[in-house]
Amino acid sequence: MFGKFCKQSKFLFSLLAVGVLISACEKEIPVEKEVIRPVRALQLSDSGQIKERSFPGKAKAVKEVELSFRVAGPLITLPVDVGDKVLTGDVLSKIDPRDFEVALNNARGQLSRAQASAERAQSEFDREMRILDEDPGATSQVAVDRKKAARDQARADMTSLNASVAAARDQLKYTKLLAPFDGVVVNKYVENFESVKAGQQIIRMIDDSKVEMIVNIPENLISLTPNVAIVYVRFDSFPEHTLEATIKEISSEASETTRTYPVTLEMEQPDDVKILPGMAGKTVGVEVKEGVELIDKGINVPVSAVYTAENADESFVWVINETNKTVSSRQVTLGKLTDHGILVAEGLEVGDWIATAGVNYLREGQTVRILQSK
């Protein structure tokens, strides 16, 4: 009886276990959520965008410098004031030179004594050599060598003191602070008769005959910039004035945060208004160089956007679908290298979004999040 009960219990337990397993299998297995990968990207632009876009900036002087003395001492003259115009070589300030004049005179006196010693040592050496030539028994090679060593030492002393005189002369020259270029004094940090230290800021001056302005150009437009002949600039303080500027310098390195390239513009100071450093302004148009196509046989893209598939010679870029933000590989035909990337002759169109970094980690159809949309 007990054995029969045990068999029934085992049977019921088995049915229960099978039911639990079936129930577990029927539960929905969770699907791992796709990770959306952030990716740097840019939208390919046409030549008209650089004409239509406006880029802000601030005016700065074409030259600016903080002037200081290379020696220390009390000031005895400070003839300039803020706002004064100065010419190259004008004395802006002067340190009391008396201690430096004394040092120079001492160095010159030591040099004169060394020159006399050197002449005497040379004469004694010459006399010893004549004795050796005329009467070898009247002297010895040891005596000759001793005279030669004395002469060489005197020459070395004279060389050292020549350097000391030159250094003392320079120290005396450094007691005058001269204007390095034509410009305007915009700040004074000390007053006359103060004792100043070497390297202490004394005067700030600028050359405002020309004006510079730095604007930041997005990476999708930077390749077009070298073909611009004239940039038109307008400052907020003088909205009725439009100034012509030229491109002085184009940086070859983009900002890590904004992915823009600093471009320095230069313009002449207008006659009827005064553009001061720090004034805000913006570009209001550009004029393209005559006979230049802004897009030269292709669309410029960063080199980092192009990759080569494994065991293949073709080049590809990842094109981002603007609607669903998925990437697809597209074969491209490359042109020449430029200062800011490489030209794609075929395979891309203006308006396409392409990935510009991490291209080796993307896969076909992957969903991405655009980090940069400039």
Q: What is the pLDDT of residue 118?
A: 92
- Asked whether residue 14 is assigned to any structural domain, the reply reads no
> Both 239 and 227 in a single domain?
yes
Q: Please list the helix, strand and coil fractions of the chain in percent, rounded to the nearest 5, in that order.
A: 30, 35, 35
- Asked whether residue 38 is assigned to any structural domain, the reply reads no
Amino acid at site 287: E
Q: What b/e sequence results for 104-130 when a residue is b if at least 16 CB atoms lie within 10 Å of its CB, and e otherwise?
A: beebeebbeebbebbeebbebbeebee
Q: Which regions of the chain are under pLDDT 50?
A: 2, 5, 295, 373-374
- Asked whether residue 318 is assigned to any structural domain, the reply reads yes
- Residue bearing tokens 């070859």: 252
Q: What is the pLDDT of residue 150?
A: 92
Residue 355 · residue 327 · CB < 8 Å: yes
Q: What is the pLDDT of residue 357?
A: 84
Q: What is the pLDDT of residue 102?
A: 96
Range of the domain at 348: 299-370
> Both 270 and 304 in a single domain?
no
- Of the candidates 288, 317, 334, which is a domain's last residue? 288
- Of the candidates 228, 253, 288, which is a domain's last residue? 288
Q: What is the pLDDT of residue 7?
A: 52
Query: Does the pTM exceed 0.85?
Result: no
Give the model confidence (pLDDT) of 18-51 as tens digits.
555 555 555 555 555 667 888 888 877 655 566 6
Q: What is the pLDDT of residue 202?
A: 97
Rg (alpha carbons) of the chain, rounded to whole number: 40
Amino acid at site 100: F
- Asked whether residue 234 is assigned to any structural domain, the reply reads yes
Residue 64 · residue 51 · CB < 8 Å: no
> Both 264 and 333 in a single domain?
no
**Spatial separation of the C-alpha atoms in residues 211 and 248, rounded to whole Å:** 11
* CATH code for position 93: 2.40.50.100
